[in-house]
Amino acid sequence: MIKLYGIGENLRAFQGDNATNNDTTVAALVQWYSIDVKEERLRCLGHVINLVVQLLLYGENLSAFKKELDGASNLLQFKIWHKIGAISKLHNLVVYICRSEQ
């Protein structure tokens, strides 16, 4: 598509999340165009912020946390969330209020 539309000379920066296929794409483009990968490969700020917030809220192993929650009873989910820390109190309060008939 780059060749078809003749935009190769205008390529300046590439923004994407941390997926390895984005790095592979930029690495392939380096072969044909004058691109400085370290300077012109930008990370999506929204994605980076999302990763940082998830790390702060859930700890280092988010997938293990999600797996632990998956299929757990309501009471067990409250206990699992309670291990997270202060944010868990807010989470459990919101869940309790949402499930309340009042």
What is the C-alpha separation between 57 and 24, in angstroms, rounded? 31
CA distances from 11 to 17, 18, 19, 82, 101 (A): 18, 20, 20, 49, 57
The pLDDT tens digits for 20-70 are 888 888 888 888 888 777 777 777 888 888 888 888 777 777 788 888 889
Cα 32–chain centre separation: 30
pTM higher than 0.75, yes or no?
no
Q: Which two tokens stand for residue 12?
A: 């300046």
pLDDT at 28: 84
Given a cut of 80, is residue 76 above it in pLDDT?
A: yes
Residues 6 or more apart in contact with residue 37 via CB below 8 angstroms: 26, 27, 30
